[in-house]
Homo-oligomer: A and B are copies of this chain.
């Protein structure tokens, strides 16, 4: 069983504090710290762990212990919106584990966080128990500064813990989701309006694909524009469909695609699906991928 977990923590400047959290994770058995990185302007760090359910659970609790001790939201400033010391904790199914098991794990960890640290916990995405509280952005709106007022309303009663923020650690959002793909398409034009119109057309909020978040940006140094996206469920909204739609929309403005880029990691199944689509491969099964076959046996 392999679960990925990507805790986002509200500290990106004091490197000793971040290093202590990384060490706390590394001391846990059954989990590996794949990567961590800090953004000083966001004042935020992102940890990437993988392991089995027990290992990932223990590692997240160890991370909470350090974060609650070392981070005080009352003095925290940064560009990125945040609600708590450990701001967001998604569990992601990778191999030999179902989404339902990741949802169970999110609930178990959420209950333990509330119990051990007195931090209120909201469940989000697949673990959400309330359609109005599925999206991270909705839960986080108002941020730490608005939390005391928000959480006292009945519709914002947390899933676990008290109906009041932890004084220094705020609240945490814990849940389960599919692997996220950060995907950018660069257009052979400097017209920002074209990138913005395409982004609006393809994202869910604009009436586009269900699992696409998108925005248009200017890449000043290169004199071109970019449609920057998060694909939040590559099985249901596959990358090739997004690419082809962007290409078609761009053509309507006489613009062509210069290139695209994957930022960070992508599951091999997402690449295989694109190959299947373009090569018109019928009847393909995941265990025909040599590496999958080798892992199974």
Spell out A's residues near B (CB within 8 Å).
Answer: 2, 4, 32, 34, 50, 94-95, 179, 239-240, 243, 257-262, 264-268, 270-272, 274-284, 288-294, 297
Contact = CB atoms under 8 A, between A and B. Distances in A.
Nearest to A239: B279
Contacts of A284: 261-262
Nearest to A271: B275
Contact of A268 (B95, B276, B289): B289
Secondary structure at the A interface, as helix, strand, loop or mixed, is: mixed
A183 to B, nearest CB: 9
A99 B282 CA distance: 31
A274 B279 contact: yes
A267 B291 contact: yes
Contact of A265 (B240, B276, B277, B288): B288
Contacts of A288: 262, 264-266
Contacts of A272: 268, 271-272, 275
Contacts of A282: 259-261
Contacts of A264: 288
Given A266-B288, A288-B264, A279 B2 contact: no
A40 to B, nearest CB: 24
Given A34-B297, A94-B290, A259 B281 contact: yes
A97 B23 CA distance: 32
What are the 6 A-B residue pairs with the smallest beta carbon separation, nearest first? A274-B275, A271-B275, A259-B282, A278-B278, A265-B290, A271-B272
Contacts of A240: 275, 278-279
A267 B290 contact: yes
Given A274-B279, A275-B275, A278-B278, A50 B268 contact: no
Contacts of A268: 268, 271-272, 289-292
